[in-house]
Amino acid sequence: MKFTEGYWLGSERANALYAAQAYAVEEIENGMRIVAPVRKVVTRGDTLNMPVITLEFKAAAENVILVRAWHYEAYDRREPRFEKSESPCEVSFSKNEREAVLRAGQVSVHVNLENWEYSFRAGGRVLTSCGFRNLGYIRRDRKASSMLPFENYMCEHEYEPYMVNELSLSPGENVYGLGERFTAFVKNGQVVETWNEDGGTSSQVAYKSIPFYMTNRGYGVLADHADNVSFEVASEKVEYVGFSVPGEELRYYFFYGPSPRQIIKELTALTGRPALPPAWSFGLWLSTSFTTDYGEETVTGFLDGMQERQIPLSVFHFDCFWMKGFQWCDFEWDERVFPDPRGMLERYHKRGLKICVWINPYIAQGTPVFKEAAEKGYLLMRSDGRGVRQTDNWQNGMGLVDFTNPQACLWYQGKLRRLLELGVDCFKTDFGERIPVDVTWSDGSNPRAMHNYYTFLYNRCVFSLLKEVKGEREAVLFARSATAGCQQFPVHWGGDCSASYPSMAETLRGGLSFAMSGFAFWSHDIGGFEHTAPADVYKRWLAFGLLSSHSRLHGSSSYRVPWAFDEEACDVARHFVHLKCRLMPYLYAMAVTAHEEGTPLMRPMVFEFPEDPACATLDMQYMLGESILVAPVFNEEGSAWYYLPEGKWIGYFNGECREGGRFYRETCDYFSLPLYIRENTLLALGKVTDRPDYDYVMESELHLFAPAEGAEAVCRIPDTQGNIKETVAVMMKGNALLATKAAKGRTIFVHGTDGEVREMTL
């Protein structure tokens, strides 16, 4: 939110008070506290009638500092708080006439006692700072107050309170993250409202707003507020990232990396690491699509068609109309088209399939489920006290489950438990964004602050049930909405994209921003959700989708089976499903790393190569794990323009070696795209192409790409439960390949820079 009109003038609506002096500094447990009056105090008398902003810095973990700033300390907004796990570390505090310093690990915060400013520093340099008119208390739309006996006598509460903080940007500093945002990958110049809404993929609105950003200067910032945090990213003041929150207090965590990998590791240590999705979830998912006309016969026909064309399928998804229209969600199968759901699911399980069904937290009126929930007080209530808050937006007269009520959570889980007992394996937890603010919550939470936080409670409720019933290693969701902490409940998908190349590109931008926000597993609707893609777009999207973390064929009003486009699409689908299955030993090892450290599976180039300036803005290619570069094709000419960082890269499809540090252009058919393996990569490639879950140790072979003389190459091979079962390490010395950690007798296929593949035995 903008509180100024240009750099010098404040908005007349703002009534801003800015910290102007570090008047008093004291050491507190694990940190320091600053009393900052809004005007410089020269004499004792200046302390009268003087508002102050109190500021605290505390070490939340090594290299992580929590910042709290407040005006009125007893003001309670009753806002829900993100779940966090702080790990306070040893700190040092020092103070002299010029500055006070708090150190936590490699990062320190310096408070200038002569001229108001505080700065974060590491490695002998200032990372960012907050100074003149950068930390403020805003009395927005303040009404006139009087000391005379009028109605507005001492009406200090007659305004909207906000806290604002601005952190400086250096020349060339780029800002990334803030959730799954489909705008430009680099956020400089954007105004970002972290307010979840169902806005599709082609607007500034986001399904997954995360109040976290990082920059290429080696630090990240998480605003610790579930409410809307309004970010002005070099947009109000071009030298700063400003963020403001309603209320009398502002909290944020400052993370020093310096690498993106380390920043994400620290962020997810605080807000939660992702669960490890089951290996089968990495295979191809096929959906009924949304409003298409389908029943059991249609579904069986899809499965037969995939089997006849030898396209491996892992999960089948039933979208909304597994239930009757006007009755979502009553959790009852529509017996008119699915007369025997238990028997049907058993038959599909015998095909080796897992089953997913669509749900949301909205309950339509006119159903026994609605009546039960309303009578028991499990639905959100109107703020005026006139019963359940209902709307016709999406479902007729629907109410929303109040997940702040523990009994409502158990009730909701009970409905889902019946489906799991019937044979369902996982859920698509759709929606969770359209959460009204004219409501009363069971636990008394602030309605505005609950708008975004609702999705955390919703997805946690469903995920915890899956862990209980299916087991920790079998639980997986397909979720659309998210807030900070939701990375614990994978997988998330990108929402309602359109069937076009621009939408495919914006989808990737959203996924890359999401990765820079602490989320490891992400998917999207192959071919686009809205409309029907030309066969050309569909086939290019197949390659992109099957080289993503998770892969789903899903649409709105038309089917997404490959033969609905053309028969070549079937060949393309088969080709890339086989490829993904072969990559599973590597992908699942990367998934284990994500589970252990929070590192995303699909990584922006700047994440993996932060020191390469050419990678700073790239948003049409990505790293799949640490060793594989993917550049999807976004045009009907089949032309790809991509960048290879420094080093040698081996083309997966053609074996060609290319030197990094430059851009390339190539034209690809539908069965290829720029897919390059980083030099000195020891890659486990599976021998299995028809399923994603198999014995990765026994059914894989080792390939060494562009070995670097005297450098160790390491490969970790997991089992399907996420345990690392074998670690192999080799080193090339001259023409000899030495095992530094491997069983003797292992065969390694060495892909040389000359394009030849040599078989070598350790």
Number of folded domains in the chain? 4
> Does position 744 have pLDDT exceeding 80, yes or no?
no
Q: Of 117, 180, 425, 433, which one is the catalytic site residue?
A: 433
- Does 203 fall in a domain? no
Instruction: Respond yes or no: is residue 496 known to be catalytic.
Output: yes
Same domain, 252 and 298: no
Q: Tell me the C-alpha to C-alpha distance, in Å, between residue 687 and each of 378, 581, 667, 692, 742.
A: 51, 9, 29, 11, 20
Q: Indicate whether 737 belongs to any domain.
A: yes
| Inside any domain, residue 185 | no
Distance CA 310, CA 298 (A): 18
By mean pLDDT, which of 149-158, 220-229, 237-246 is the weakest?
149-158
Domain that includes residue 627, residue range: 604-678
Kindly report, residue by residue over 584-636, the tens digit of the pLDDT: 999 999 999 999 999 999 999 999 999 999 999 999 999 999 999 999 999 99
Catalytic one of 236, 496, 525, 536: 496
Residue 642 has pLDDT above 90, yes or no: yes
Q: What is the pLDDT of residues 532-584, one digit of tens each?
A: 999 999 999 999 999 999 999 999 999 999 999 999 999 999 999 999 999 99
112-162 per-position pLDDT tens digit: 999 999 999 999 999 999 999 999 999 999 998 888 998 888 888 889 999
Q: Is residue 410 part of a domain?
A: yes
pLDDT (tens digit per residue) in 694-703: 999 999 999 9
Question: What predicted TM-score, i.e. pTM, was given to this entire model?
Answer: 0.97
**What CATH number is associated with residue 706?**
2.60.40.1180
Mean pLDDT, rounded, for 502-531? 98
pLDDT at position 743 over 90: no
**448-473: pLDDT as tens digits:** 999 999 999 999 999 999 999 999 99
Query: What average pLDDT is seen over the chain?
Result: 97
Q: Is residue 141 annotated as a catalytic residue, yes or no?
A: no
For residue 123, the one-letter residue type is G
The phi, psi pair for 443, rounded to 5°, reads -95, 5
pLDDT at residue 548, rounded to an integer: 98
CA distance 410 to 263: 36
Q: 26 an active-site residue?
A: no
How far apart are alpha carbons 192 and 230 in whole angstroms?
A: 6
- 207: which DSSP letter? S
Whether residue 209 is contained in a domain is answered as no
Contact 577, 306 (CB under 8 A): no
SS (HEC) of 598-614: CCCCEECHHHHCCCCHH
Contacts of 8 (CB under 8 A, 6+ apart): none
Domain shared by 39 and 126, yes or no: yes
pLDDT (0 to 100) of residue 151 = 87
Q: Are residues 478 and 587 in the same domain?
A: yes
- Ordered strands of the 125-130 beta sheet: 91-95, 99-104, 107-112, 117-122, 125-130
For residues 27 and 122, membership in a common domain is answered with yes
Candidate from 119-123, 143-147, 302-306, 319-323 with smallest mean pLDDT: 143-147
Are 586 and 669 members of one domain?
no
Does one domain contain both 615 and 584? no
Same domain, 664 and 706: no
